[in-house]
Structure 1
């Protein structure tokens, strides 16, 4: 299998974590996503993935799988053990809810393509974009933290073992910490994050810092 990646991408980080948990090896192909003419917006990459996003997985049958959650679910079905969803019904729902809150309510509003669009709006500068990113990150992680606290989550999202909720939470918390946000404002999420930092599959596959 081939995986198109970018090291700073939190979505790429998610898939790499899942691969590490599963012990699955793939060929990785780097794709630039920043700058004036990033490769992910070029014709060559758009022929691979018409969405122009990373990560993108090409299976050993030549089938394209896009979107990090869909790729993670594909890997979980391809190789069921260890599972990436908890055993209990409510715990599975919680893990999925955390994952989707991060993917749809935070990450969808702060990637490079959103920053490019914002920068084209008159009066919007780098400080304004940073404030935009901080607003949606704080709002989203506050909701995630409340969700975790209300469910009385275990050592990880949804139970005793890391699951898809943890896989999405970890890179988002890494980015929030690097942005100078006080993680103590999200005590439930921060406690899980600290535990995940001790798990090699997570620690070794965090998103790289932007240069």
Structure 2
């Protein structure tokens, strides 16, 4: 199995957590999105039509998009399961995961921030304000979901799910960008607990072979 990844990509971080939780060994293939390696013709044509990381190769399968990758892993390598089979639990986990993957991440990722900076010519202060605004909006919704439906030491219960796999990288990015996160008490409690878990610690950006400060 091969994973095309960038150390600081929160979507790559999600897949690394899932692979490590499931005990699946993989070859780490670094793709530097800061220098545009994900946009090269070879990468787009032969690895990821989305021109993004992560991308997973497992035998004859080649797939991009982190949630699609994790869903595939959960079907083919179901232990431990990250997306519950119970309809209500599944809905809760996917509700929170999509609040992060669809509402927060897409408008704060690198290509959006660079468009703001390079094309729209916003100031650094305006770019930071944009980032922090959408973190606040998105994490307020996540916190409400956790307060209403969360339980246990993880987001939903006593074992990690896709919700935790999505939450931890998003909070890591927000902290790196200097966002004030203390107000999100339930989310930060889950983040602190999960970050100490060996699989989450091993998947962290600083542990990756392409890590740079």
Distance 1:135 1:210 in 2: 27
Instruction: Name the residue aligned to 1:147.
Output: 145
- 1:207 maps to 205
Residues 11-50 of structure 1: pairs in structure 2 closer than 5 A: 11-35=11-35, 38-47=36-45, 48-50=47-49
Shift of 1:74: 0.7
Give the 3-state SS of the residue equivalent to 1:176 in structure 2. helix
In structure 2, the residue matched to 1:186 is: 184
Q: Cα RMSD over matched residues?
A: 1.6
Task: From the superposition, tell whether residues 210 and 28 of structure 1 become closer, same or farther in structure 2 (CA, over 3 Å).
Answer: closer
Cα deviation digits, residues 16-57 of structure 1 (max 9, x gap)? 00000000011121111014xx11111121112121100001
Q: Residues 21, 120 of structure 1: CA spacing in aligned structure 2 closer, same or farther, 3 A cutoff? A: same
- Partner Cα distance (1:123, 1:4) in 2: 31
Q: How many residues align?
A: 208
Q: Which residue of 2 aligns with 1:127?
A: 125
Match of 1:5 in 2: 5
Match of 1:67 among 59, 65, 68: 65
Report the Cα offset of residue 115 of structure 1.
1.4
Q: After alignment, is 176-185 or 107-116 more displaced?
A: 176-185
* Structure 1 length-normalised TM: 0.92
Structure 1 contact 118–124 (Cα < 8 Å) conserved = yes
The within-5 A match list for 1:82-121 is 82-86=80-84, 88-121=86-119
Structure 1's 159 and 39: CA in aligned 2 closer, same or farther, altered over 3 A? same
- Give the superposition deviation at 1:85: 2.4
Q: Give yes or no for contact 1:171–1:207 (8 Å, CA) kept in 2.
A: no
> What is the TM-score with the length of structure 2 in the denominator?
0.91
- Structure 1 gaps of 5+ residues are none
Which ranges of structure 2 fall in alignment gaps of 5 or more residues?
none
